[in-house]
Each structure stands twice: as structure tokens, then as C-alpha cells.
Structure 1
Amino acid sequence: MQIRSATEADWPHLWVIIEPIMREGETFALPRDGSEAIARAYFASPEKVNFVAEDDGVVLGASYVRANQQGGGSHIANCGYMTSPAARGRGIARALCAHSIDYCRAQGFLGIQFNFVVSTNEPAVALWQKLGFGIVGTLPQAFNHPVHGYVDSYVMFRTL
């Protein structure tokens, strides 16, 4: 597997990954009936740097990195990850997160903050914890899950 900078030509592959995740509505605070334009504005907006994980030319996952805040908060990064539903369980998210940690460190960020990790996304919470992120805050009933109703969301942080 290779992780590389995303190009404009990758967007159709990213949309194939993002759309089913958006429709499931279980892990990202995006409208379940949202359009491709909404997904693109969220995941690939100009302030974000995008990467893709590919194997034999097939895009299996994607990530973004951006400054979490402007000005006095710009030394902390924010990252997001999506894995193709067909590629889950193959270490794609782990590889993308490890890549983000190295990239953010090289860019001079002092930490990474995940602003909104849905508590019922237990595989992601466990993975982020294994990679050194701690839960630093709980947002009570911040996410309306399509199966479980209102559930908590976590703010997770890791120092670089």
C-alpha cells in the first residue's frame, strides 16, 4: 500500500468512498442525503491537504490534514479519515493516521485534535487510543445516530 498526495483526478474515487459512509450516517456529522458537493466541501476544502491510500492503483482510503484553528490555535492539526467499506479491517485507517502523525510533525504541528469522534464508532476510538490519542472531552448526546439515537461524541488529542 502507498500513501500519496491526492490529486484532482482522485476525487471520483474519494466520492465512491465517502458516499456510502455519508449515507450510513453513523460516523460523520454529514447529512445522510447530502450531495457530492457537500461531501467535497467537507473533506477536500481548500484549507485541507488530502492524501490517498492505494494498492495496485485502487484507492482504498483517504485522509485530510488542516490546522484545527487559525491564529493562536494553528499549531494544532485536525485530521479526518475514510476507508472504503470494502477495505475495512485491512489497516488502512491505521496507516493513514500514522502517515498523518509523521506529516503533521514534519509540518511543525505540536499536536493533533480530533474534534468529533462518535462514541459508537468503537473500532475508531480503540484505534486512535492505540495510536496515542486520549479522550479529552465528551460532548453529551452530540450526534444523532440513525440506529442508537442521540449518542456522545469525543474530542481526542495527541501531542506530537
Structure 2
Amino acid sequence: MLIREFVEADWAQVWPIIREIARAQDTFCYDPDLTPEQARGLWLETAPGRTVVAVDDDGRVLGTAKSGPNRPGPGAHISTASFMVAADARGRGVGAALCEDALRWARDEGYAGMQFNAVVESNHSAIRLYERLGFTIIGTVPGAFADPELGRIGLHVMHCPF
């Protein structure tokens, strides 16, 4: 698996991943009726941020990530990132590789840490991964996420200092 910068030709494979995850309504606060144009605006980062893809040996996009400053101005020294993995590529280390890459990039860029603003509390595999990579839950907003099966559940704020 190779993680590389997103190029325009990747969109045809990235969009279905975003669409599937948005429609599932169980991990991202994205409108399930998101259009491709809206998704591009939400997912494709511009400098100083970046968007990457994880591809297999055949060039198939297995997952994607975006990262950059968490907030502008006085908050720009803390980074953030988001990750999406194709359903049939989950459990193969794609998410871990994307997260490790985002952490490495943020450290190299001089950020003081990384913050995740909205990790759905039922996303146990992601939470375990993030904790293994040095993140801690610093707070939970109760009932902030409307899961289609679980109802209103919490969103964790997670932080990893560098």
C-alpha cells in the first residue's frame, strides 16, 4: 500500500467512499444526501492542509485522509485530520497507515499536536486505533450525534500532543 497526495484522477474512486460513509450516517457528520460537489468542498484540502489517498499495487484507492490546521489564527498550531476507508478494505491496516501518515506529516510541519473534534463514541475500532497512536479522549459532547440505530450518542474530542 502506498499513501500519496491526492490527484484529480483519484476523485472517481474517492467520491464513492465518501458517498457510502455519508449515507451510512454512523461515523461522520455529513449529510447523507451530499452531492459530489459538496463532498469535494468538504474533503479536498488546500494549503496549508493536504488530502491523500492510500492505494494498492493496482492503483485502487483503498482510503483517503485530509489534514491541516484545526482552527485558523491562534489555533493554527494544532492540526486535525479525518480518515475514510472503503468498506471492503477495512480491517487491513489502511486506517492505521493513513493516521500514522497524518501524524508524521503534522509533526514534520511543526504542529504542536493533533485534535479530532468529532469521533463518534460507537466507533470503537477507530477509538482503539487513535488511543494506540497516542490520542486521549479529553471530552465528550453528550447526544451530539444522531446515529440511525443507536439514537443520540456522544461525540468525543480527542487529542495527541507532540
Tell me the TM-score normalised to structure 2 length: 0.95
User: Equivalent residue for 1:103?
Assistant: 105
Please state how far the C-alpha of 1:36 moved relative to its aligned partner. Answer: 1.4
User: What amino acid does structure 1 have at the position aligned with 2:4?
Assistant: R
User: Equivalent residue for 2:127?
Assistant: 125
- In structure 1, how many angstroms separate the alpha carbons of the residues matched to 2:33 and 2:16? 15
Map 1:76-95 → 2, pairs under 5 A: 76-95=78-97
1:54 aligns with 2:55: yes
SS in 2 for 1:10: helix
User: Equivalent residue for 1:22?
Assistant: 22
Question: What whole-Å deviation, never above 9, does each CA across 1:72-113 have from its counterpart, x for those lacking one?
Answer: 110100100000011000000000000111100010101000
Percent sequence identity is: 39
User: What amino acid does structure 2 have at the position aligned with 1:23?
Assistant: R
SS in 2 for 1:80: strand
Please state how far the C-alpha of 1:46 moved relative to its aligned partner. Answer: 3.1
Please state how far the C-alpha of 1:45 moved relative to its aligned partner. Answer: 4.1
Number of aligned residue pairs: give it.
Answer: 160
Question: What whole-Å deviation, never above 9, does each CA across 1:44-80 have from its counterpart, x for those lacking one?
Answer: 1435410110111111000001100111110100100
User: What amino acid does structure 1 have at the position aligned with 2:54?
Assistant: A
SS in 1 for 2:71: coil
User: What amino acid does structure 1 have at the position aligned with 2:159?
Assistant: F
Question: What whole-Å deviation, never above 9, does each CA across 1:138-157 have from its counterpart, x for those lacking one?
Answer: 00100000111100000000
Q: Indicate the larger mover: 11-20 or 91-100.
A: 11-20
Tell me the TM-score normalised to structure 1 length: 0.97
SS in 2 for 1:38: helix
Structure 1 unaligned regions, length at least 5:
none
SS in 2 for 1:90: coil
User: What amino acid does structure 2 have at the position aligned with 1:54?
Assistant: V
